[in-house]
Amino acid sequence: MTDRPSPLRRLGTAIRRHPLLVGAFGLALVVCIVFSVRSVMFAVYWSDPAHRDQRVEEWMTPAYVSHSWDVPRDVMEAAVGGAAATLSDGRPTLKRIAAAEGIPTADLIARIETAIATHRAGSASE
């Protein structure tokens, strides 16, 4: 019977011989785990029926409304206008976008709801 080194001893040898390679592998492993957890959390959140077709509110971002109503981003970008791109700090909530455009939030929400209805009507006729 041959004496094989234990897995921990082999790991220690690998770390001593190739510290950068083992470090890069560890970093890649951590990144994969983080993105896997985020993907699972995203899937679980959006699979909940309570998050679909939510009433559009001022705290939402255009991306959130797009996910909730299952509308392509270009439809939302057209409805929101270019003001969202000018906001450089923080999340572009509908309230902040409306303030940047100088219009009431209710008007922006009405524009978004019209765009959603138009998109869905166009999708249903195809």
The pLDDT score that the predictor gives to residue 24 is: 96
Distance CA 31, CA 49 (A): 30
Q: What pLDDT is recorded for position 86? A: 73
Amino acid at 9: R
> What does the alpha-carbon distance between residue 63 and residue 75 come to, in Å, rounded to a whole number?
11
Mean per-residue pLDDT for 23-29?
96
Mean pLDDT of the chain: 89
Q: Residue 66 pLDDT > 80, yes or no?
A: yes
- Summarize pLDDT for 68-108 with one digit per residue, the tens: 999 998 999 899 887 777 777 888 899 999 998 899 999 99
The reply to whether the predicted model has a pTM over 0.75 is: no
Mean pLDDT of 45-67: 91
Higher per-residue confidence, 30 vs 79? 30
Residue 97 phi, psi dihedral angles, 5° rounding: -65, -45
DSSP per-residue letters across 78-126: HHH-THHHH--SS---HHHHHHHHTS-HHHHHHHHHHHHHHHHHHHHH-
Which of 52, 58, 49 minimizes the C-alpha distance to 110? 58
Domains of the chain, by residue range, sit at: 7-47, 54-125
Return the pLDDT at 126.
Answer: 62
